[in-house]
Structure 1
Amino acid sequence: MSARRAILIIKLSALGDFVQALAACAMIRRAHAGDTLTVLTTAPYRSLAEACPYFDEVMIDERPKLTNPLAVLRLARRLRAPRFDRVYDLQTADRSAFYFRLMRRWDGGPQWSGIAPGCSHPHANPHRDSMHTLERQAEQLDMAGITPPDPLLPPDLSWVPSPDRALLDALPDRFALLVPGGAPHRPRKRWPAASFGALAGRLAASGVTPVLLGTAAEAAEAAQIRQSCPLAIDLLNRTSLLDIAGLGRRAVCAVGNDTGPMHLLAAAGCPSVVLFSDSSDPALCAPRGRAVTVLRRDDLARLPVDQVWETIDQRLL
């Protein structure tokens, strides 16, 4: 019997990117069924990574500043100690390319799939940055000897456990999830709170309770939505990443901006309407799935509530 090999997957951030990368992680798990898979990620995604059946070990990258040589040395020792046989760099950024250099050994170091100069299995496509994340990572793995499935499968979060009973008991049988937030430094990625409020009112009138997801940073938007629709339930800052995915399996539908939680909901199989502005390109990063609809306007303030409402499958309501 051949010895188990030590395999490292690097995927540090952000949430939507981490979720998208789970499709590639599933391919790696199948290709390395008898090996030990470790994922290197960052603290916000620890719970998701630890629950994921693809990984045997989770290693947290504290992202030391390169100006702190002692911290970088400690990281180098952590990365070298397992003596990984192969690394799949799904981050493909300057930082992970630096880790390639940190992990070099007298014997050359591990095999490496990525774009780090000098790596053994480069993703040698000069147009990789114009590909959707799923196709780009599938092609990267293909060049490393892992044949992608045909058709290419989106990420699947069917393994996520059900949310805490107390959380479910606080919700009605029929609810829709609204995600009004987004990156604070990119306000153009947000549909106006007034529009979410009008949509929430229509959902409530149809017998479906709107439930708001997000963080405390969206408190002002949530207050405005609840002013328009007092029946809306505010779960801001009350759900973990696993909770969000679990709620997606119970919800009638979800509507939200191009932000990480919508990737979780889409991957959980929730019928999802994802709203894009000119701040991001759905051809490169939109969630995929048979129940995912993408709506795009250069300026989301010009996206009518009527169009979003009509996009929701009325048979679900």
Structure 2
Amino acid sequence: MPVTPSAPARILIVRLSALGDLVFCTSLLDGLRRAFPDAHIAWLAQSGFAGVLRDDPRLDELITISKDTLKSPAALWRLRRELRARRFDWVIDAQGLAKSRVLAWLAGGTRRVGFRSKEPLAFLLHEQFDKGGDPADIASEYRYLAERLTGAPAAAPRLPVAAAAAARVAEAMAARRLASGFLALCPFTTRPQKHWPDEHWPALARRLVTTGLGPCVVFGGPADREHAQRLVAQMPAGSLNLAGQTALPDLAAWLSQARAVVGVDTGLTHIGIAVHTPTIALFGSTCPYTQGAESPLRVIYDGLPCAPCKRRPTCNGAFTCMRQLTPERVADAVTDLLGRVR
């Protein structure tokens, strides 16, 4: 494609965190790559989350910064020099925070765009776009932004599985005598109101294994290891705790080997969808996406009058919205979804 003013030669996406949001933002990446196949596309992300993008063939460059970069004027000055040397045409703030606007400004660019929000420093951008699209669609705001920038419809989030990652995961599975077709359970997230009750996970595992599905494998981060082990100890024999044992660049490969993913509103659940594994997503306090995925998806959400409470629950810790999603309901959803896939 010849480079014209409407076809940028060099693009930078600024989306620092968190894991699930980086997965969602691949809709923007995919839209840009389809519209501008010859462009150099780079992504600026926080080092603690960037690994999920490391092997993505749609990216030409992954630039990582530490969480503390914004606290150091010297580090910011160095980053400004490094980014401006790359001579980006478009710089896209896909986060909408004051800090991401600062980073977009540091990068320069002849066209700096980003999300409209209540955050300060909007003057650092040349253009702002609403977080549009259909809220029921997964990654709707990133798809909408991609469509506004390219003029073409954008796809759902997608994470390609790199050959090297697939080989590493195959070796790790063989060492554990774990075959493909396991059930991936993703219980952990950052807010207690998004958690499914601990006692529900072993009950779900027992129901699923009884129906001939399994084994169950629990995924999570390093901080979740002990919690995951307590859950696995109550699950049927053969259940496995992999919390803290799966590197970020390998997560897509791991979840692509699962028969199904069951998880709360967390990055691992979104990765399951992005690798097209049948996924059951449990929502209560946050706004659910219920459509727009390119993979088999079932979202379980009751939409109580107090929901979505997001960061301000009013139930005094009862978390009824998640508690009433019983193991029986979730097990039925898993078997029904897998039956439809077959």
1:22–1:155 CA contact under 8 A, matched in 2? yes
Residue number among 108, 117, 123 corresponding to 2:123 in the alignment: 117
The residue number in structure 2 matching 1:255 is: 262
Is residue 2:234 matched to residue 1:232?
no
Shift of 1:269: 0.9
1:163–1:247 Cα contact (<8 Å) kept: no
What CA distance in whole angstroms lies between the structure 1 residues aligned with 2:70 and 2:271? Answer: 32
Tell me the CA shift for residue 130 of structure 1. Answer: 8.7
Cα distance change of structure 1 residues 66 and 182 upon mapping to structure 2, 3 Å threshold: closer
Instruction: Report the equivalent of 1:101.
Output: 105
5 Å-filtered alignment, 1:55-70, equals 55-64=59-68, 66-70=70-74
- TM-score, normalised via structure 1 length: 0.86
Q: What is residue 270 of structure 1 aligned with on the other side?
A: 277
SS of the aligned residue for 1:72 comes to helix
Q: After superposition, what is the alpha-carbon deviation per residue over 1:234-265, rounded to whole angstroms, capped at 9, x for unaligned?
A: 11111123332212222111111111111111
Which deviates more, 294-303 or 8-17? 294-303
Alpha-carbon displacement from aligned partner over 1:142-200 (angstroms, at most 9, x marks no partner): 333x0232xx42112244432523222121343111111111xx112111121100111
1:22 matched residue in structure 2? 26
Tell me the distance in 2 between the aligned counterparts of 1:249 and 1:228: 23
Q: Which residue of 1 aligns with 2:316?
A: none
Which residue of structure 1 lines up, in the alignment, with residue 315 of structure 2?
none
CA 1:180 to 1:2, structure 2 compared with 1: closer, same or farther past 3 Å? closer
The match for 1:175 is 182
CA distance in 1, matches of 2:97, 2:30: 21
DSSP 3-state at the match of 2:233: helix
Cα distance in 1, alignment partners of residues 138 and 258 from structure 2: 26
Kindly tell me: are residues 60 and 118 of structure 1, through their superposed partners in 2, closer, same or farther at Cα, counting changes over 3 Å? closer
Find the counterpart in structure 1 of residue 152 from structure 2: 148
User: Aligned AA for 1:209?
Assistant: P
Match of 2:199 in 1: 194
Structure 1 range deviating more: 128-137 or 215-224 = 128-137
Counterpart position of 2:310: none
Aligned to 1:299: 321
> For residues 64-94 of structure 1, what are the alpha-carbon distances to aligned partners after superposition, in whole Å with 9 as ceiling and x for unaligned?
4555322221222122121211112212221
Residues 98 and 129 of structure 1: CA distance in aligned 2, closer, same or farther (over 3 Å): farther
Q: Is the 8 A contact 1:38 1:56 kept in 2?
A: yes
The answer on 1:75 being equivalent to 2:79 is yes
Q: CA offsets per residue over residues 193-238 of structure 1, 9 Å max, x none?
A: 2110011112222332111111243322432342242331111111
How far is the alpha carbon of 1:315 from its aligned partner?
Answer: 7.3
Once the two structures are superposed, what CA deviation does each residue of 1:129-152 show, in whole Å capped at 9, x if it has no partner? Answer: 9946633223323333x0232xx4
Alpha-carbon displacement from aligned partner over 1:103-144 (angstroms, at most 9, x marks no partner): 45xxxx421121443633421x3x649946633223323333
**SS in structure 2 of the partner of residue 252 of structure 1:** strand
Corresponding pairs, count: 304
Given candidates 1, 5, 8, the residue that maps to 2:9 is 5
Q: Which runs of 5+ in 2 are unaligned?
A: 116-121, 303-319
Q: Post-superposition shift, 1:281?
A: 1.0
Q: Which runs of 5+ in 1 are unaligned?
A: none
Question: Which residue is equivalent to 2:314?
Answer: none
8 Å contact from structure 1 (residues 274, 294) kept in 2 = yes
1:246, 1:191 → 2: CA distance?
A: 25
Q: Distance in 1 between matches of 2:23 and 2:256?
A: 16
1:2 Cα offset (Å): 4.9
Q: Equivalents in 2 of 1:206, 1:63: separation in Å?
A: 45
TM-score for both structures, normalised by structure 2: 0.80
Bigger shift: residues 174-183 or 129-138: 129-138
Q: Which amino acid aligns with 2:240?
A: I
